[in-house]
Structures are given as structure tokens and as C-alpha cells.
Amino acid sequence: MIAQSTIADYVAPGVDWFALSPYLVPAAGALVLMVVGALTPTWPRGLYAAFTAACAVGAGVLSLFVWDDITDGAPGTLVAGALSHDTFAHLVALTVLVATALVALVTDGTLRGTSGDGPEMYALMLVAAVGAMVMGAANDLIVLFLGLETLSLALYVMAASDRRRTASGEAGLKYFVLGGFASAFLLYGIALLYGAARSTNIGEIVEYFQTSVPTERNDALVLAGVALLVVGLGFKVAAVPFHVWSPDVYQGAPSNVTAFMASVGKAGAVAAMARVLIVALPFHRDDWRPVIWVLAVASLVVGSLLAVVQTDVKRMLAYSSVSHAGFLLVGIEAAGHRAGEDAAGSGLQSVLVYLALYGVLVVGSFGVITVVSAARGGSSDLASFDGLAQRRPVLALAMTVFLLAQAGVPLTSGFVAKWGVIQAAVDERSYAVAIIAMVAAVIAAFLYLRIMVSMWLKPADNDDAVAVPGLTAVAVGIAVAVTIAVGVYPQWLLDATDVVSQYAR
């Protein structure tokens, strides 16, 4: 009788299908690829990639419509408070979807004509994209963990997907083992925070710390939980000292997968860290902000210094990615000064703008690496780029644009991104970390200069033909156009994202 009464009294949560459509479209696309792909003959060349890109673009268009509804109305939550319905979530979603579409185009050139040319890789991309989007929108720590595992499990398989190369299997195994430890830290942190706040819902956690006056202090429990959460998310962000996996995994994984990890994976992890620290734990900002400061400085210094001594381009960009993680943490540290206040400052906006711009240019960078390394049997050492300007001048020019953008040269999107986070730090009087970030950018510029010198000034040591597949050329071209367009005229993007801090509460 008790069970029957409980079932009869159960009321299912309301579901706003249109608001959820940006998440449902890529999930449905993954199911179509797996089911239809298994029941039909091999699709025509390029159709798997085109379908994946179409799903991502379609979801992105729907996300723009939802964004417009939010700005016209008010933010809220979906599915009984499980997901946040705000512009923060949809800017992350747009970043993830654009990167997914570009990586899908690059992947076609990598897999076409090989035994891996099937729907599996593209389905994994769409599943991982949904996981990253859920991480950015999670309004519950358990939902955040589910999004993280959805993203991570797909990435483990993708990293080990090239069965022709031993390095790919090793990369997948290393990522899986270390990722499992990071997930354990994260889950333990969630458990401790639940023990202190009596809920995993972010809104309820904020309300608990804002309104309750506990008779027993649980500060130790909360601080231990926050520390474990930072460790788990720091691994996914590839922040020092949790970055040890990234050079080996970036180098060993297929270049298209590395592009996906550097863009989509980093976007989901950074968005989750911002959501947890800035939105869920503003009342403990004085506890976690110094830790983020240390992680930011360590990532900037270590990433920049170790990048310049590498001889493999993928390892160079792996350590460069660590340095970029430092810049993102500078923005989170700046946002932490005003976490929970009405005047939120520009820290959070600068982080999300950085993610969006970095996601595009890093996909373009690895798109070029994919093409060049394919001509050298998969080798991505610096010598592979010798004389690229003589063999493929347009490709060398595109890579130069991406390298200049990552260095933060004016009139590129990278300058806009780095200027934003440094300006946010200066606004909050975090002068030390802002100065360290600028010095680190100068050091890292030497790394990008080495690659440019190799392409433009060194003679080619071979006559290997560098073939550029059509869809890869489209992806690289789009990335170049975005990198230059935002660098020349960034105001439209800054105006569009100005409402992020207002709604991400």
C-alpha cells in the first residue's frame, strides 16, 4: 500500500522540450549515426562528417533562439532544477557546438579511406559534446559529474581509436587511468560538500550558506570538499600540477582527437569550474581564490617555459594549452573577487570569450597539423614543418595566423581573449598575476616563432606532397576567418556576451 501510494503521488517534472533542444539534437544525431550506420551500407564519402557538422550547427541555431528567449525573459532552471537555463550555459553550448562542427570536418580528412572511416568516431564526438554542454549548464553537482563522465569516457575511447599506432593506445590508457583518479577526487569532493550543505543542487547550496546559521561549524568539511573539487576539475583543465597527462595524450592521440580535447574538453572543464566556484560557492571565495591564483601562476610559468624546449609540435601545443589554462584561471580568479555580488565585473565574461575564441583557433591549428603529419606518416616533429611555405604557402599562412593569435598579437582573436582576462585581473587589482600573465605571453611567443621560422625560413628536407582534403580546408578556412574577423572587430562578440554575468547566478 505504501509503495502504491508513493507511485500514485509521484509528479513527473515538467520538461521544456524547446529549451532542451540544443542538448537533444546532438544526442539524437549520435543515436542516428550508431543505429542507422549499423543497419545500412557504408555512407558516401564525407556524409558522416557532414551529418555530424549539421547536427552541431542545427543545435547551435536552436541555442541562439533559446538565448534570445532568455534575454527577453529571465533565467531559470530545467528538469526540476537539474540544468541551469541561462546565457552562461548557452555560450558554453555554442562554443562546444562550433568546435564540434569544425573537428568533424577535419576528421573526415583523417579517416577517409582508412578502416576507421565509419560512424563510431562521429557518434562519440556528439556524445562528448553533449557531456561538455551538460557540464556548463549543470545546476546540480551530480548532473555535473554525469556530464563529466559522459565527456571523459568518450574522450578515452577517441584517444585510443587509432589502432594502427601504439602511441594512440598508450595515450588512451594513460588518459583513462589518470582520468579515473581525477573523477574519484571530484566525486569525493561532491560527497563532502553534500555532507556540509545537505544538498547537491547548486541553488540549494547557495541558499544554505546564505540563510542558515548552523550550530556546528562545517568549515573543514566544506573546505576539504572544495579542495577535492578543484583537484578533479584542475585535471580536466590541465592546470599545473595536474597537467602531467596532457603532453603524452596530446602527442599520442590522433590529431583530430587532440583538437577535440583542446577545444571541447577544455571548454566543458573550465565552464564547470566557473559554475562550481563562482556560482555555487561565492561565500567561500576567500578560501578558493588564493588556490586558483597559485594554479594560474604555476600554469602560466610552467606551460610557457616547457613549451619552448619541445621538439614535437603537438607537445609544444600541449604545453601551450597548459599556459592557456593559466590565462583562463586568471579570469576565474578575477571573477572570484566579486562572486555572489550584483556588480559581477568582467571576469566571467572574459573567461567565456577566451574559451570561445581559443576553441576555434586551436581546432584550426590542429587541422593544419593533421594535414602536415599525414604527409610524414603521422610524424608531428618540428622538422615536418620545414619549408611548408614553399610546398603549401596558403596552409603555412593559415598556420601563421593561428600561431600569431595564440601569441596574442593585435588584430587577431587571441589578442582580444588575452586582453580580456588581463584587463579583468587589473580591474580587480590583481596586478601581480596580470604582470606574470603578460611575461608568460612573451615567453610563449618564442615557441610560436620557432614554428613560423621552420615554415618560412628553413628549406624543405623532403618533397612529400601535402594533400589538403576538401572538408579540412573548409574547417581551417572558417577558423582563419573567425580569428581575423574577431581580431579586427571584436565589439559585436563583447556586446553579445555582456549579459553572461547578469544571468549566470
Mean pLDDT of 21-38: 92
Q: Residue 22: how many CB atoms within 10 A of its CB?
A: 28
Q: Is residue 438 part of a domain?
A: yes
- Above 90 in pLDDT, residue 92? yes
pLDDT digits (tens, 9 = 90+) for 464-491: 677 788 888 999 999 999 999 999 999 9
Output the pLDDT for position 70: 86
Output the pLDDT for position 501: 66
Output the pLDDT for position 433: 93
Q: What is the chain's alpha carbon radius of gyration, rounded to the nearest angstrom?
A: 22
- Above 70 in pLDDT, residue 434? yes
- Above 60 in pLDDT, residue 119? yes
Q: Is residue 455 part of a domain?
A: yes
Determine which of 189-198, 401-410, 493-502 has the lowest per-residue pLDDT on average. 493-502
Determine which of 2-6, 58-62, 218-222, 320-324 has the lowest per-residue pLDDT on average. 2-6
Dihedral, 282, 285, 287, 292 alpha carbons, nearest 10: 120
Q: Is residue 5 part of a domain?
A: no
Q: Is residue 24 part of a domain?
A: yes
- Residue 64's pLDDT band (cuts 50, 70, 90): very high
CA 458/CA 390 separation, integer angstroms: 10
Q: Is residue 12 part of a domain?
A: no
- Residue 216's pLDDT band (cuts 50, 70, 90): low
- Above 60 in pLDDT, residue 5? no
| Percentage of residues of the chain with pLDDT beyond 70 | 94
| Containing structural domain, residue 281 | 19-503
Output the pLDDT for position 1: 44
pLDDT digits (tens, 9 = 90+) for 149-198: 999 999 999 998 887 888 888 989 999 988 888 899 999 999 999 988 88
Determine which of 55-59, 194-198, 289-293 has the lowest per-residue pLDDT on average. 194-198
- Residue 492's pLDDT band (cuts 50, 70, 90): confident
- Residue 500's pLDDT band (cuts 50, 70, 90): confident
Residue 117 CA: distances (Å) to CA of 122, 165, 422, 467: 10, 16, 43, 18
Mean pLDDT of 305-313: 89
Compute the Cα dihedral for 239, 241, 242, 245 and give only its sign. Answer: positive
- Residue 273's pLDDT band (cuts 50, 70, 90): very high
Q: Give the contacts of 427 (CB within 8 A, at least 6 positions apart).
A: 334, 345, 346
Output the pLDDT for position 367: 92
- Residue 462's pLDDT band (cuts 50, 70, 90): low
CB 125 within 8 A of CB 59: no
CA 403/CA 399 separation, integer angstroms: 6
CA 351/CA 264 separation, integer angstroms: 14
CB 178 within 8 A of CB 244: yes
CA 304/CA 298 separation, integer angstroms: 10
- Residue 504's pLDDT band (cuts 50, 70, 90): very low
CA 155/CA 172 separation, integer angstroms: 8
Q: Give the contacts of 303 (CB within 8 A, at least 6 positions apart).
A: 240, 243, 319, 320, 321, 322, 323, 324, 325, 326, 440, 444
Question: What 8-state DSSP symbol labels residue 434?
Answer: H
Q: How many domains does the chain have?
A: 1
- Above 90 in pLDDT, residue 264? yes
**Mean pLDDT, the chain, integer:** 88
Helix (H) / strand (E) element for 76: namely strand 76-78
Q: Is residue 14 part of a domain?
A: no
CB 336 within 8 A of CB 285: yes
Phi and psi torsions of 85, nearest 5°? -115, 80
Helix (H) / strand (E) element for 78: namely strand 76-78
C-alpha cell at 464: 612529400
Nearest CA among 118, 109, 113, 102 for reference residue 48:
118
Mean pLDDT of 109-128: 85
Mean pLDDT of 135-162: 92
CB 338 within 8 A of CB 494: no
* Residue-by-residue DSSP string for 249-296: HHHHS-HHHHHHIIIIIHHHHHHHHHIIIIII-GGGHHHHHHHHHHHH
Q: Is residue 49 part of a domain?
A: yes
Q: Residue 502: how many CB atoms within 10 A of its CB?
A: 16
Q: Is residue 114 part of a domain?
A: yes
